[in-house]
Structure formats: structure tokens, C-alpha cells
Structure 1
Amino acid sequence: MKKLSFIGIFVIVLFSICSWTHKFYVGIYQLNYASDKKMLQITTRIFVDDLNSALEKKFKKKFHLGEKNVGEDEVALMNKYIFENFRIAVNGKSESLDYRSYEMENNVIVGYYRITDIANIKTLACTNKVLFDFVTEQQNIIQTNVGGNKQNLLLTIDEPSGKLEF
């Protein structure tokens, strides 16, 4: 568990210092339960060049996420791709992500999502296949914080799903 926490911190540091290219394929997905709002707040961090390439491969058109000329249709297709490949079940019930916004941090696209009307969390199951169709070395790290209980999952093409109990 501590190893995954260290890996998560290490990857975040690498994201912030990485400028033009990267040789590793990691996405970070932070899930924070805000009990006072009965909401699961989700932040995604994905290298924009990899996401653009995966979207271009899937939708057979050029994408400009992270550039000034990005179109609303590109953001809608990005979310369609995220919704198809990133699934969350709370207490055994599959939930829909609600897209809020995104921003760029260097060459990383940071997406903000939420799931509302969550009274409590006993179990959290995630399936994350984002970018697995683009690069087989992709790893997706799920970092959760539920009532101060922090747990992590490392999801890969061989093991794209995991479940946590709180």
C-alpha cells in the first residue's frame, strides 16, 4: 500500500517536470469522497498527446485537446471515450460520471468529474481501460480518499479492474 502511495507521489512529480516528451504511460485518477456534499469528486490526469492519439485512432479525426483551437465536439468525444473506458461502482451500484471541466497543466490534461447523491461508501469498484487501446504499457493509478481512509489501485491491461472496501 505504501509502495503505491509512493508511486503516486512520484508520478505526480514527474508529471510536473515533464516538458515535451515522456517515456512512461501512466494516468492518475483521484477519487475523493466529500461526505458533507454526498459527492465523489474525481480528478483525472492524462498525458494530452497520448489522449489525442487514442481519440484520433478511435474516431478517425484530428484532435486538438490542449491547444487553443479545441472544439466543443472534441471535448464531447473525449468525454464519450472516458465514460466508455472509466467505470465506477459505489456499493455495488454502477454510477454515471458527471463532467464538470478540464484544464491543462503542462502537457497533462486534468479533467474534473463528479458523482452525486452518494450517502456513504462501503465499497468502490473501478474499471479503467483508458488508453489501453492505444498503448499496452499504460498503467492507471486510482487514488482514493474516503473519510480519511486512503487506498490505491494499480490497473493495467492485464488487470483493468479493482475493488476497495472502506
Structure 2
Amino acid sequence: MRRRSLLAATATLPAAALLGGCGFALRRPPPLSFERLALVGFAAGSPMEQALRRLMPQTVTLVDAPQQAQVVLESLLERRERVVSGTTSFGQVRDMVVRVRFRYRVSTRAGKPLVDPSELLQYRDQSYNETLALAKELEQTELYRDMETDIAMQVLRRLETVREI
């Protein structure tokens, strides 16, 4: 019995060594070159602002007043959209496209632009069935949250390029 467990452990050792050298690492927020950031222009309870706050590295402090920040991220447009992309011959909805559009700019507290006004757009296709309306609504909520997280990660990667403060 002891010999069998020793053989099993010896057989799994090369597999573990291969996995250890594959370069796998958990996804982390990118390191940012500044310490204080102000998020302005977001609506109260904005899902995009919540996603940015959730993904912000711990090395960055979010401040309320732009005068206290080194960098200001201003939301110019944040919109969730839903468009019908396919119908049946009876006019019933079969396919939809859900989109999240986010336009922003990044500047210093004095107003000097660090990142030109940019727009990010994410969209997902979604099938639709009226008999599963509640489930499709929950799926749509998850799709929106996933897209907002993707956009927030893209914004953080763009903030990583900000060097001159």
C-alpha cells in the first residue's frame, strides 16, 4: 500500500513541475504611476464607477475632490443599450444585441489632458425567448456586468500608460 502511494506521488511530480513552469498567474490590476485618483461625472450608483472602484489597485487612493487628486478620470457618457437584431416572421423577438458604451477623458487636476477623450464599446449577442423572459433578463444583467468589468479593465490598462503628472 505504501509503495503504491509512493508510485502515484512520483508519477504526478513531473506533471506538477510542468504546470508550475507554464507562467500561470492570477489576473491583477496593472500598476499605476500615481497615488490619488478622482472619479468625476458619474451618475449616482453608476455601474461603471462601481466596476472601476472594485478593480482599482490598492496602491491608488480614490478621492472625492479633483483638487486633491493627481489624476482625474471624467465620465462623459455611460450608456447601456439593447437593440433587436432578429425577429421571426410573426414579429417576435429572437435575437438581441446588448451594448455598453463608455466615453471618458483623463486629465490632471489643473485640466491638462493626459488621455484624449476616448470611447469604449462592448457588445454581446443574446438569443431571446418570450417563454424564458425572466431568465433572459437575468442573463442580460450578467452580460452588462461582464462588459462593464471588461471596459473597466481596459480603462485601467490605459491609465497604466499615464506617466507625466
TM over 0.5: no
The structure that is helix-richer by fraction is 2
The one of the two structures with greater contact order (alpha-carbon pairs below 8 A, sep at least 6) is: 1
The structure that is strand-richer by fraction is 1
Larger radius of gyration: 2
> Into which bin does the TM-score normalised by the smaller protein fall?
under 0.3
